[in-house]
Chains A and B, each alone.
Chain A
Amino acid sequence: QQQVKQSPQSLIVQKGGISIINCAYENTAFDYFPWYQQFPGKGPALLIAIRPDVSEKKEGRFTISFNKSAKQFSLHIMDSQPGDSATYFCAATGGGNKLTFGTGTQLKVEL
């Protein structure tokens, strides 16, 4: 029940395209859903986060869509750039700051 399922495992997108990564959770106590970006040799860095009281949050080219009834949320990267190539982790937490991470998506943006 503590798991966060993430897909796809890897994704190749052309420059300028839209990257979409999906996550699903089971624990209804989760109330904060961040996305982290990780470059090789670096720690995860917060990209964008959402709470379940809104269905969408946009920051620049990054948008989280949240479906509370389906217990799913997704990250959309618009106008994907080669510099976006990284591993993306969805995460969830509830009642504290212990993060439960998804399994990660390796994104490659090709020219």
Chain B
Amino acid sequence: EPEVTQTPSHQVTQMGQEVILRCVPISNHLYFYWYRQILGQKVEFLVSFYNNEISEKSEIFDDQFSVERPDGSNFTLKIRSTKLEDSAMYFCASSEDRWDTEAFFGQGTRLTVV
């Protein structure tokens, strides 16, 4: 069964450092997303991406964040200068199209900022 894969599974970084979280969406999917889940809290939308540009972003997704699809398979989330409050589980998701279709989630990357 096709799946969304994320690397690394766990990343520890020092405050102020840049991190890049990587995702390989399902191959025929056209819409890509990043969500995050702070420990014990709900899953929150960060950004959606289609046709090589951001289609929607939340207020959480400020200038510290950026997304990129550097090649035909990877989708990355970059956090430029990490803060302690960026510590969370980050989920990548993809869907076939935008409307009425299931978003498939990866297993997540646990980011710990120390």
Partners in one complex: yes
Assembly CA distance A82 to B95 (angstroms): 30
Residues of A contacting B108 in the complex (Cβ-Cβ under 8 angstroms): 41-43
Q: Is the CB of B107 within 8 A of A103?
A: no
Q: Is the CB of B107 within 8 A of A41?
A: yes
Q: Is the CB of A46 within 8 A of B102?
A: yes
Cβ of A45 under 8 Å from chain B: yes
- Please report whether the interface of chain A is mostly helix, strand, loop or mixed according to DSSP: loop
Residues of B contacting A1 in the complex (Cβ-Cβ under 8 angstroms): none
Cβ of B18 under 8 Å from chain A: no
Number of interface residues of B (CB under 8 A): 27
Show the binding face of A for B, using Cβ within 8 Å.
32, 34, 36, 41-46, 49, 51, 89, 96-104
Q: Closest Cβ of chain A: how far from B103's Cβ, in Å?
A: 6
Cβ of B91 under 8 Å from chain A: yes
Given A97-B48, A98-B48, A99-B103, does the pair A44, B42 have CB atoms closer than 8 Å? Answer: no
Q: Is the CB of B105 within 8 A of A45?
A: yes
Our pick among A42, A49, A103 for the contact of B41 (Cβ within 8 Å) is A103
Assembly CA distance A99 to B34 (angstroms): 11
Assembly CA distance A44 to B90 (angstroms): 12
- Binary contact readout B102-114 vs A (1 if CB under 8 angstroms, 0 otherwise): 1111111000000
- Binary contact readout B56-78 vs A (1 if CB under 8 angstroms, 0 otherwise): 10100000000000000000000
Assembly CA distance A75 to B36 (angstroms): 24
Q: Is the CB of A97 within 8 A of B98?
A: yes
Q: Closest Cβ of chain B: how far from A23's Cβ, in Å?
A: 12
* Known A96-B48, A104-B42; 20 more pairs at CB < 8 Å: A41-B107, A43-B105, A43-B106, A43-B107, A44-B91, A44-B105, A46-B102, A46-B103, A46-B104, A49-B102, A96-B55, A97-B31, A97-B33, A98-B45, A99-B35, A99-B43, A99-B45, A101-B43, A101-B44, A102-B42
Q: Is the CB of B42 within 8 A of A97?
A: no
**21 sample A-B contacts, Cβ–Cβ < 8 Å, listed by A number:** A34-B102, A42-B107, A43-B4, A43-B93, A44-B43, A44-B105, A45-B105, A46-B103, A46-B104, A49-B102, A89-B42, A96-B55, A97-B31, A97-B33, A97-B48, A98-B45, A98-B56, A98-B58, A99-B103, A102-B42, A103-B42
